Structure 1
Protein backbone atom coordinates (compact mmCIF):
# COMPACT_ATOMS: atom_id res chain seq x y z
CA UNK A 1 0.00 0.00 0.00
CA UNK A 2 1.33 3.43 -0.93
CA UNK A 3 -0.28 5.33 1.91
CA UNK A 4 -3.25 6.27 -0.23
CA UNK A 5 -6.63 5.20 1.13
CA UNK A 6 -8.30 2.39 -0.77
CA UNK A 7 -11.50 4.44 -1.09
CA UNK A 8 -12.06 7.99 -2.23
CA UNK A 9 -14.84 10.55 -1.95
CA UNK A 10 -15.72 13.38 -4.28
CA UNK A 11 -18.62 15.72 -4.90
CA UNK A 12 -19.32 17.19 -8.32
CA UNK A 13 -21.71 20.10 -8.83
CA UNK A 14 -22.93 21.72 -12.01
CA UNK A 15 -20.91 24.71 -13.13
CA UNK A 16 -24.23 26.35 -14.05
CA UNK A 17 -25.21 26.74 -10.38
CA UNK A 18 -24.62 30.08 -8.67
CA UNK A 19 -22.23 29.82 -5.71
CA UNK A 20 -24.97 29.62 -3.06
CA UNK A 21 -26.82 26.81 -4.82
CA UNK A 22 -23.54 24.97 -5.53
CA UNK A 23 -22.66 25.13 -1.83
CA UNK A 24 -26.19 23.99 -0.96
CA UNK A 25 -25.91 21.00 -3.32
CA UNK A 26 -22.49 20.03 -1.94
CA UNK A 27 -23.79 20.33 1.64
CA UNK A 28 -26.81 18.13 0.99
CA UNK A 29 -24.67 15.53 -0.77
CA UNK A 30 -22.05 15.48 1.98
CA UNK A 31 -24.69 15.08 4.69
CA UNK A 32 -26.22 12.13 2.86
CA UNK A 33 -22.82 10.54 2.32
CA UNK A 34 -21.87 10.99 5.97
CA UNK A 35 -25.12 9.34 6.99
CA UNK A 36 -25.01 6.46 4.50
CA UNK A 37 -21.31 5.52 4.23
CA UNK A 38 -20.33 3.66 7.37
CA UNK A 39 -17.07 4.83 8.89
CA UNK A 40 -16.76 7.93 6.70
CA UNK A 41 -16.90 10.22 9.73
CA UNK A 42 -14.12 9.69 12.24
CA UNK A 43 -14.39 9.28 15.99
CA UNK A 44 -14.73 12.26 18.30
CA UNK A 45 -11.39 13.84 19.26
CA UNK A 46 -10.12 15.78 22.25
CA UNK A 47 -8.03 18.91 22.10
CA UNK A 48 -5.15 19.75 24.46
CA UNK A 49 -7.61 21.17 27.00
CA UNK A 50 -9.63 17.94 27.08
CA UNK A 51 -12.59 19.42 25.20
CA UNK A 52 -14.28 16.82 22.99
CA UNK A 53 -15.01 17.77 19.37
CA UNK A 54 -17.30 15.76 17.08
CA UNK A 55 -15.54 13.62 14.50
CA UNK A 56 -15.20 14.93 10.97
CA UNK A 57 -14.67 13.14 7.69
CA UNK A 58 -11.25 11.48 7.76
CA UNK A 59 -10.58 11.54 4.04
CA UNK A 60 -10.30 14.50 1.65
CA UNK A 61 -13.60 15.53 0.06
CA UNK A 62 -12.96 17.66 -3.02
CA UNK A 63 -15.86 19.72 -4.35
CA UNK A 64 -15.48 19.71 -8.13
CA UNK A 65 -17.40 21.33 -10.98
CA UNK A 66 -18.53 20.08 -14.37
CA UNK A 67 -21.13 20.96 -16.98
CA UNK A 68 -24.59 19.65 -16.08
CA UNK A 69 -24.46 17.06 -18.87
CA UNK A 70 -21.21 15.68 -17.46
CA UNK A 71 -22.71 15.52 -13.95
CA UNK A 72 -25.54 13.41 -15.41
CA UNK A 73 -23.00 11.20 -17.23
CA UNK A 74 -21.10 10.65 -13.96
CA UNK A 75 -24.36 9.63 -12.26
CA UNK A 76 -25.10 7.11 -15.03
CA UNK A 77 -21.56 5.72 -14.94
CA UNK A 78 -21.50 5.45 -11.13
CA UNK A 79 -24.75 3.47 -11.22
CA UNK A 80 -23.06 0.74 -13.25
CA UNK A 81 -20.01 0.24 -11.01
CA UNK A 82 -19.75 -2.36 -8.29
CA UNK A 83 -18.63 -1.04 -4.93
CA UNK A 84 -19.57 2.55 -5.75
CA UNK A 85 -21.91 4.49 -3.47
CA UNK A 86 -23.34 7.52 -5.16
CA UNK A 87 -26.07 10.00 -4.44
CA UNK A 88 -27.49 12.29 -7.08
CA UNK A 89 -29.01 15.66 -6.23
CA UNK A 90 -31.58 16.97 -8.69
CA UNK A 91 -32.81 20.44 -9.54
CA UNK A 92 -36.23 19.14 -8.49
CA UNK A 93 -34.91 18.46 -4.98
CA UNK A 94 -33.10 21.77 -4.82
CA UNK A 95 -36.30 23.61 -5.71
CA UNK A 96 -38.44 22.10 -2.93
CA UNK A 97 -39.21 24.03 0.25
CA UNK A 98 -40.12 20.98 2.36
CA UNK A 99 -39.31 17.28 2.38
CA UNK A 100 -43.02 16.56 1.95
CA UNK A 101 -43.00 18.60 -1.27
CA UNK A 102 -39.93 16.65 -2.42
CA UNK A 103 -41.64 13.31 -1.73
CA UNK A 104 -44.77 14.37 -3.62
CA UNK A 105 -42.89 15.69 -6.66
CA UNK A 106 -40.58 12.66 -6.84
CA UNK A 107 -43.59 10.34 -6.79
CA UNK A 108 -44.81 11.75 -10.11
CA UNK A 109 -41.46 12.37 -11.83
CA UNK A 110 -39.84 9.63 -13.94
CA UNK A 111 -36.13 9.01 -13.33
CA UNK A 112 -35.27 10.11 -16.87
CA UNK A 113 -36.75 13.55 -16.14
CA UNK A 114 -34.59 14.21 -13.06
CA UNK A 115 -31.90 16.74 -13.92
CA UNK A 116 -28.84 16.08 -11.75
CA UNK A 117 -27.12 19.24 -10.52
CA UNK A 118 -24.73 17.36 -8.27
CA UNK A 119 -23.43 13.93 -7.34
CA UNK A 120 -21.58 12.56 -4.36
CA UNK A 121 -19.29 9.57 -4.84
CA UNK A 122 -17.59 7.11 -2.50
CA UNK A 123 -15.87 4.10 -3.92
CA UNK A 124 -12.64 2.46 -4.91
CA UNK A 125 -10.02 5.14 -5.56
CA UNK A 126 -9.40 4.11 -9.18
CA UNK A 127 -13.10 4.13 -10.05
CA UNK A 128 -13.69 7.56 -8.51
CA UNK A 129 -10.55 8.95 -10.17
CA UNK A 130 -11.69 7.63 -13.53
CA UNK A 131 -14.98 9.50 -13.18
CA UNK A 132 -13.72 12.81 -11.78
CA UNK A 133 -9.92 12.88 -12.00
CA UNK A 134 -9.63 15.74 -14.48
CA UNK A 135 -12.37 18.02 -13.10
CA UNK A 136 -11.49 21.40 -11.58
CA UNK A 137 -12.25 22.41 -7.99
CA UNK A 138 -15.21 24.64 -7.19
CA UNK A 139 -13.92 28.19 -6.73
Structure 2
Protein backbone atom coordinates (compact mmCIF):
# COMPACT_ATOMS: atom_id res chain seq x y z
CA UNK A 1 0.00 0.00 0.00
CA UNK A 2 1.34 3.43 -0.92
CA UNK A 3 0.90 6.29 1.53
CA UNK A 4 0.09 9.69 0.08
CA UNK A 5 3.37 11.26 1.12
CA UNK A 6 5.51 8.51 -0.40
CA UNK A 7 6.52 9.05 -4.02
CA UNK A 8 5.69 6.20 -6.36
CA UNK A 9 8.06 5.15 -9.10
CA UNK A 10 5.54 6.41 -11.65
CA UNK A 11 5.48 9.85 -10.03
CA UNK A 12 9.16 10.07 -9.12
CA UNK A 13 10.83 13.17 -10.50
CA UNK A 14 14.35 12.61 -11.71
CA UNK A 15 16.83 15.38 -11.15
CA UNK A 16 18.04 16.81 -14.44
CA UNK A 17 21.51 15.58 -15.32
CA UNK A 18 24.34 17.89 -14.34
CA UNK A 19 25.59 19.93 -17.31
CA UNK A 20 28.62 18.39 -18.97
CA UNK A 21 31.88 19.93 -19.99
CA UNK A 22 34.28 18.81 -22.69
CA UNK A 23 37.85 20.08 -22.71
CA UNK A 24 41.15 19.13 -24.33
CA UNK A 25 44.51 19.94 -22.75
CA UNK A 26 47.55 19.89 -25.05
CA UNK A 27 51.28 19.86 -24.31
CA UNK A 28 52.32 23.51 -24.43
CA UNK A 29 55.71 22.59 -25.94
CA UNK A 30 54.14 21.29 -29.17
CA UNK A 31 54.40 23.42 -32.30
CA UNK A 32 51.00 24.53 -33.68
CA UNK A 33 50.67 21.78 -36.30
CA UNK A 34 51.42 18.95 -33.88
CA UNK A 35 49.22 20.54 -31.19
CA UNK A 36 46.33 20.80 -33.67
CA UNK A 37 46.82 17.19 -34.68
CA UNK A 38 46.85 16.01 -31.05
CA UNK A 39 43.68 17.98 -30.26
CA UNK A 40 41.95 16.65 -33.40
CA UNK A 41 42.81 13.03 -32.59
CA UNK A 42 41.44 13.40 -29.06
CA UNK A 43 38.33 15.30 -30.26
CA UNK A 44 37.52 12.64 -32.85
CA UNK A 45 37.62 9.91 -30.20
CA UNK A 46 35.63 12.01 -27.71
CA UNK A 47 32.96 12.53 -30.40
CA UNK A 48 32.74 8.80 -31.01
CA UNK A 49 32.50 8.01 -27.30
CA UNK A 50 30.03 10.80 -26.52
CA UNK A 51 27.86 11.12 -29.62
CA UNK A 52 25.08 12.63 -27.46
CA UNK A 53 27.21 15.79 -27.24
CA UNK A 54 26.72 16.47 -30.95
CA UNK A 55 23.85 18.90 -31.55
CA UNK A 56 21.11 18.59 -34.10
CA UNK A 57 21.95 19.28 -37.75
CA UNK A 58 22.10 22.91 -38.84
CA UNK A 59 19.52 23.72 -41.50
CA UNK A 60 19.61 26.56 -43.98
CA UNK A 61 16.46 28.40 -45.01
CA UNK A 62 16.15 26.20 -48.13
CA UNK A 63 16.45 23.03 -46.04
CA UNK A 64 20.09 22.24 -46.83
CA UNK A 65 21.48 20.41 -43.80
CA UNK A 66 24.92 20.63 -42.25
CA UNK A 67 26.14 18.13 -39.64
CA UNK A 68 25.41 19.00 -36.04
CA UNK A 69 28.22 20.50 -33.98
CA UNK A 70 28.97 20.34 -30.28
CA UNK A 71 26.86 23.07 -28.63
CA UNK A 72 28.88 23.20 -25.40
CA UNK A 73 32.20 24.03 -27.08
CA UNK A 74 35.59 22.46 -26.55
CA UNK A 75 38.22 24.74 -25.06
CA UNK A 76 41.78 23.77 -25.95
CA UNK A 77 44.03 24.44 -22.98
CA UNK A 78 47.78 24.05 -22.48
CA UNK A 79 49.88 22.33 -19.84
CA UNK A 80 53.38 20.96 -19.38
CA UNK A 81 54.05 17.29 -20.10
CA UNK A 82 54.23 16.58 -16.35
CA UNK A 83 50.94 18.42 -15.76
CA UNK A 84 49.28 16.37 -18.51
CA UNK A 85 50.29 13.09 -16.86
CA UNK A 86 49.09 14.31 -13.46
CA UNK A 87 45.83 15.61 -14.94
CA UNK A 88 45.15 12.29 -16.65
CA UNK A 89 45.75 10.31 -13.47
CA UNK A 90 43.69 12.67 -11.30
CA UNK A 91 40.81 12.76 -13.81
CA UNK A 92 40.29 9.01 -14.21
CA UNK A 93 38.07 8.82 -11.10
CA UNK A 94 35.92 11.83 -12.06
CA UNK A 95 35.20 11.79 -15.79
CA UNK A 96 35.83 10.07 -19.10
CA UNK A 97 39.43 10.50 -20.22
CA UNK A 98 40.84 10.17 -23.73
CA UNK A 99 44.62 10.41 -23.83
CA UNK A 100 47.05 10.62 -26.72
CA UNK A 101 50.51 9.20 -25.94
CA UNK A 102 53.60 10.67 -27.60
CA UNK A 103 54.07 7.47 -29.60
CA UNK A 104 51.05 8.53 -31.67
CA UNK A 105 53.05 11.19 -33.49
CA UNK A 106 56.13 9.02 -33.95
CA UNK A 107 54.53 7.02 -36.78
CA UNK A 108 51.69 7.10 -39.28
CA UNK A 109 51.27 3.32 -38.94
CA UNK A 110 48.59 2.57 -36.33
CA UNK A 111 49.88 -0.99 -35.82
CA UNK A 112 53.34 0.41 -35.02
CA UNK A 113 51.67 2.84 -32.59
CA UNK A 114 49.87 -0.06 -30.89
CA UNK A 115 53.11 -2.03 -30.62
CA UNK A 116 55.05 0.96 -29.26
CA UNK A 117 52.53 1.47 -26.44
CA UNK A 118 52.08 -2.24 -25.72
CA UNK A 119 55.71 -2.71 -24.63
CA UNK A 120 55.64 0.12 -22.08
CA UNK A 121 54.37 0.09 -18.50
CA UNK A 122 51.47 2.53 -18.12
CA UNK A 123 53.27 4.81 -15.68
CA UNK A 124 56.01 5.47 -18.23
CA UNK A 125 53.64 6.82 -20.89
CA UNK A 126 53.84 10.52 -21.66
CA UNK A 127 51.00 12.40 -23.30
CA UNK A 128 50.61 14.98 -26.04
CA UNK A 129 46.99 15.67 -25.14
CA UNK A 130 44.28 14.64 -22.71
CA UNK A 131 40.55 15.08 -23.34
CA UNK A 132 37.97 15.12 -20.56
CA UNK A 133 34.18 14.81 -20.60
CA UNK A 134 32.22 14.88 -17.39
CA UNK A 135 30.23 16.94 -14.95
CA UNK A 136 30.87 20.63 -15.53
CA UNK A 137 31.96 21.41 -11.97
CA UNK A 138 34.30 18.43 -11.65
CA UNK A 139 35.97 19.03 -15.00
CA UNK A 140 36.21 22.73 -14.22
CA UNK A 141 38.07 22.01 -10.99
CA UNK A 142 40.43 19.62 -12.76
CA UNK A 143 41.43 22.12 -15.47
CA UNK A 144 40.89 25.41 -13.62
CA UNK A 145 44.58 26.33 -13.54
CA UNK A 146 45.28 25.87 -17.23
CA UNK A 147 45.34 28.70 -19.80
CA UNK A 148 44.03 28.60 -23.36
CA UNK A 149 46.44 27.19 -25.93
CA UNK A 150 47.37 30.13 -28.10
Instruction: Report the TM-score, using the length of structure 1 for normalisation.
Output: 0.90
Verify: 1:56 aligned to 2:69, yes or no.
yes
**How many Å separate the matches in 2 of 1:110 and 1:43?**
41
Verify: 1:66 aligned to 2:66, yes or no.
no
Verify: 1:16 aligned to 2:33, yes or no.
no
Look up the match of 1:128. 139
Give the greater-gyration-radius structure (CA). 2
What is the correspondence of 1:1-139 to structure 2 with a 5 Å cutoff? 6-81=19-94, 84-139=95-150
**How many Å separate the matches in 2 of 1:32 and 1:60?**
15
Instruction: Report the TM-score, using the length of structure 2 for normalisation.
Output: 0.84
**How many Å separate the matches in 2 of 1:106 and 1:43?**
37
**How many Å separate the matches in 1 of 2:99 and 2:22?**
14
SS at match of 1:105: helix
Structure 1: which 5+ residue stretches go unaligned?
none
Kindly report structure 1 stretches of 4+ aligned residues shifted beyond 6 Å.
none
Cα deviation, residue 63, structure 1:
0.3
Structure 2: which 5+ residue stretches go unaligned?
1-17
Q: How big is the alpha-carbon RMSD for the aligned residues of Structure 1 and Structure 2? A: 1.2
Cα deviation, residue 135, structure 1:
1.3
How many residues of Structure 1 are paired with residues of Structure 2 in the alignment?
133
- Tell which deviates more after alignment, 70-79 or 43-52: 43-52
Cα deviation, residue 96, structure 1:
2.0
